Amino acid sequence: MRPTIAQVALPVPLDKCFDYQIPNYLYPVVGGRVSVPFGRQTLTGIVTALVDTSDLPVEQLKPIKACLDQQPVWPTPLYQLLIWCSQFYQYPLGDTFSLALPSLLRKGKAASFASMKQWHITDSGKDQFAAGFGRAHLQAQAMRLVENGPVPHPLMIEEGVSSNTLKTLQDKGWISVSHSQPVTSRWPKDIENSDLKPKLNEEQAIAIATVNNVSGFGCYLLDGVTGSGKTEVYLNLLKPVLDKGQQALILVPEIGLTPQTIQRFKRRFNVPVEVIHSGLNDTERLNAWLSARDKQAGIVIGTRSALFTPFASLGIIIVDEEHDASYKQQDTLRYHARDVAVMRAHKDNIPIVLGSATPALETLHNAQVGKYHYLTLSKRAGNAQAASHKVLDIKGLYLEGGLSAPLIAQMRRHLNDGNQVMLFLNRRGFSPALMCHECGWICECKRCDAYYTFHQGSQEIRCHHCGSQRPVVRQCEGCGSTQLVSVGVGTEQLEKQLEMQFPEFKTLRIDRDSTRRKGSLESALESIRTGEYQILIGTQMLAKGHHFPNVTLVGLIDVDGSLYSSDFRASERLAQLFIQVAGRSGRASKPGEVLLQTHHPEHALLQSLLHKDYHHFAQTALKERKMALLPPFTHLTLIRAEATQNDSTESFLRQVRHTLEAHPLFDETCMVLGPMPAPLSKRAGKYRWQLLLQIETRSKMQRILASAKPAIQLLPLAKKVRWSLDIEPQDLS
């Protein structure tokens, strides 16, 4: 007999599925989308089971309105992975499904290709080639792309052409746009362009053979210094996979910063490559998703969320820069894309390679205990040299806009030699605080437990926590004095300072304020490459996945904050930043130099990075983590709560603590810390508290949370505060 009731997961914040009647003319499938009435709305949900009975009387059940798919939306292993994610990260199933779908499918659109924007060259555009494009390098690059036929819009963006450039060219009448169905392409016989292959060195060959020798699941840490040929290893691993007609998924931290890497994959292989990033519009995203599902794409390269792309036949997963913090989602489904990728590979029974020059301590530990295979590339490929590094003790030195005299002197030397210099400072704005020179009053955000940052360019003070901003204050609210001074240095001030120090060189600042406009990051990176700017200032945005061969001096302006941070991961992040920037500068003929300004040159972390290496640091840090019972030796869950009332927030978490401690599985291997005020104890008018649960094993964490969560939801205060569970948090603020 045919089932009469469908259980449906809906995008509502409730940990349950809902029962609906199946009208006799509809045929829902498990894993397919249905459209159902919910209150007054119509929602799109995913069928999780087809059954004959319900806990509710059948006549109370509403009927399904429409079935949107005749097939499950995801292949079975991916569907199961999403269920696992929902359970592991304690996030409602319906919301988890919803997040994993392209938004057009979430809205109930058909799961088939939609027409896509394409760019064509016009006749007057062709004429222009004869006249040339002068100094308009970006325009010339865009025109060359369309010269030989229409190019889909997303492809132009991937090639580094900004939307602005396209608009300019369209306004000039040199290119035009059309909307058409993407052409379905078949993979050619010759999958690889092998003339581009370098001869592998021994370590690369061993790494590749190790992965290829095992069939089925295996997790490999590819630990190799920057420039040691990791990407070359990835390319070699893809070859046999594509030959078998299987596909590859490559995760990267940020697409905007990796155009060169993407180009290498495209140039090496003659299969379609889809690139999934936040710049895609809904149609482009759906088409990329379908292209992977229907096996048009051979390779998908994408950021965190590309992890949930369905594949007809996935053969390998690569996670590049696996240590990068951006793999962890910081809200809603707080998943770690690297960790879930390992689970995905396990469910798909395929190999996964985690690559990094600075592996996360968790990953190193997994390799050391034998859970992951350990592969290493110890030498730079080709003949590039490692950068040299040095600490500048700035105790007692006069700092001009954050710069010490020895650093300025070094900069001058490198700049005069015709090289570029890059400075890192992880603080946006002009200065992190505005203070009264007479009485010491500091201008504080009323809604947060934080100081206002002074932005000189816009003559505003802004709170970086709640986003509030107002015109800069002119008078002290304590004593009425008008002598307000800025304290500390942000990127904006550093930029001003450099323009004064080095008027003969051009300075470029790259941070969230200066790259707000879409496409502006790409054009900024391009102008660094062309050498238009000689001095580059960046927050750690600039440290990701990019190689700047003409940068021969890198300066870390202020690292003291990371040496004495309350976040136990701060030292790991600093070590990674240091090694990454050192590895990205210079080349064989121009070795790089890294200078680090600190008041604490004797600090053990700095000493171990300078005189030993990342691995020495990592071993020391792992020992410390073990003693302190911190990850990876225990597993953490951070329970955050916030409300307008300080008392109720704290009491709620106290009750949560009791609930957890009363759990039958809670024993001496478990510990709860708190409630304690969050590091930022007030934000946007809400008081913030937190509770940290520390348990020896993941499975016990899971079992305790699975049954404690419903009990927490029943606490009367649970409805009065906003609270969330962050499983294996990366950020404790």
- The answer to whether 387 and 583 are in contact (CB under 8 A) is yes
Site membership for ligand ADP, residue 358 (CB under 6 A): no
Site membership for Zn ion, residue 445 (CB under 5 A): yes
198 interface partner picked from Zn ion, ligand ADP, none, CB below 5 to 8 A per type = ligand ADP
463 interface partner picked from Zn ion, ligand ADP, none, CB below 5 to 8 A per type = Zn ion
Closest CA relative to residue 286, chosen from 103, 33, 82: 103
Site membership for ligand ADP, residue 63 (CB under 6 A): no
Judged by CB, which is closer to ligand ADP: 275, or 725?
275
Tell me, residue by residue from 188 to 217, as one string, x for binding to ligand ADP by CB under 6 A and - for no binding. ----------xxxx--x-------------
CB 288 to ligand ADP: min, Å: 24
> How many Å apart are CA 82 and CA 105, to the nearest integer?
16
Closest CA relative to residue 224, chosen from 591, 610, 580, 607: 580
Neighbouring C-beta atoms of residue 511, cutoff 10 Å: 22
Could you say which DSSP state residue 4 is in? -
Judged by CB, which is closer to ligand ADP: 64, or 225?
225
516 interface partner picked from Zn ion, ligand ADP, none, CB below 5 to 8 A per type = none
Strand 273-276, strand 299-302: pairing: parallel
Identify each DSSP E strand in 68-160 by its residue range: 116-121, 151-152
CB 544 to ligand ADP: min, Å: 12
Site membership for ligand ADP, residue 226 (CB under 6 A): yes
Closest CA relative to residue 279, chosen from 154, 134, 123, 136: 154
CB 594 to ligand ADP: min, Å: 17
Question: CA 528 from chain center: how many Å?
Answer: 23
Stretch that binds ligand ADP, among 79-87, 116-124, 147-155, 221-229 (CB under 6 A): 221-229
Alpha helices in 136-281 (DSSP H): 137-146, 153-158, 163-171, 202-213, 230-243, 259-268
Judged by CB, which is closer to ligand ADP: 233, or 450?
233
Neighbouring C-beta atoms of residue 115, cutoff 10 Å: 12
Site membership for Zn ion, residue 447 (CB under 5 A): yes
Site membership for ligand ADP, residue 285 (CB under 6 A): no
How many residues bind ligand ADP (CB under 6 A)? The answer is 15
- The answer to whether 580 and 548 are in contact (CB under 8 A) is no
Judged by CB, which is closer to Zn ion: 170, or 646?
646
- The answer to whether 721 and 629 are in contact (CB under 8 A) is no
Scan residues 65-104 and list those touching Zn ion (CB under 5 A). none
Query: Is 479 known to sit in a ligand binding site?
Result: yes
479 interface partner picked from Zn ion, ligand ADP, none, CB below 5 to 8 A per type = Zn ion
Across the strands, what pairs with 535? 421, 507
Closest CA relative to residue 324, chosen from 351, 299, 304: 304
**Considering only residues 63, 216, 382, 467, which one is a binding residue for ligand ADP as defined by CB under 6 A?**
382
- The answer to whether 521 and 560 are in contact (CB under 8 A) is no
205 interface partner picked from Zn ion, ligand ADP, none, CB below 5 to 8 A per type = none
SS3 78: helix
Strand 686-695, strand 635-643: pairing: antiparallel
Could you say which DSSP state residue 269 is in? B
**Considering only residues 227, 401, 429, 674, which one is a binding residue for ligand ADP as defined by CB under 6 A?**
227
Site membership for Zn ion, residue 448 (CB under 5 A): yes
Query: Is 17 known to sit in a ligand binding site?
Result: no
Site membership for ligand ADP, residue 576 (CB under 6 A): no
Across the strands, what pairs with 375? 222
403 interface partner picked from ligand ADP, Zn ion, none, CB below 5 to 8 A per type = none
Tell me, residue by residue from 472 to 491, as one string, x for binding to Zn ion by CB under 5 A and - for no binding. ----x-xx-x----------
Structure tokens at 166: 């396209």
CA distances from 176 to 143, 168, 283 (A): 11, 11, 19
Query: Is 85 known to sit in a ligand binding site?
Result: no
CB 82 to Zn ion: min, Å: 36
Site membership for Zn ion, residue 466 (CB under 5 A): yes
Scan residues 286-325 and list those touching ligand ADP (CB under 6 A). none
Query: Is 219 known to sit in a ligand binding site?
Result: no
Site membership for ligand ADP, residue 545 (CB under 6 A): no
Please provide the DSSP assignment of 494-552 as one string. Answer: HHHHHHHH-TTS-EEEESTTTT-STTHHHHHHHHHHTTS-SEEEE-GGGGSS--BTTEE
Stretch that binds Zn ion, among 68-76, 142-150, 407-415, 445-453 (CB under 5 A): 445-453
Judged by CB, which is closer to ligand ADP: 379, or 412?
379
SS3 451: strand
Closest CA relative to residue 358, chosen from 597, 586, 616, 531: 616
Judged by CB, which is closer to Zn ion: 451, or 578?
451
Burial, 285: exposed, middle or buried (Cβ in 10 Å; 0-12, 13-18, 19+)? buried
Give residues in contact with ligand ADP (CB under 6 A): 198-201, 204, 224, 226-232, 381-382
Binding residues for Zn(2+): 436, 439, 445, 448, 463, 466, 476, 479
Give residues in contact with Zn ion (CB under 5 A): 436, 438-439, 441, 445, 447-448, 463, 465-466, 468, 476, 478-479, 481
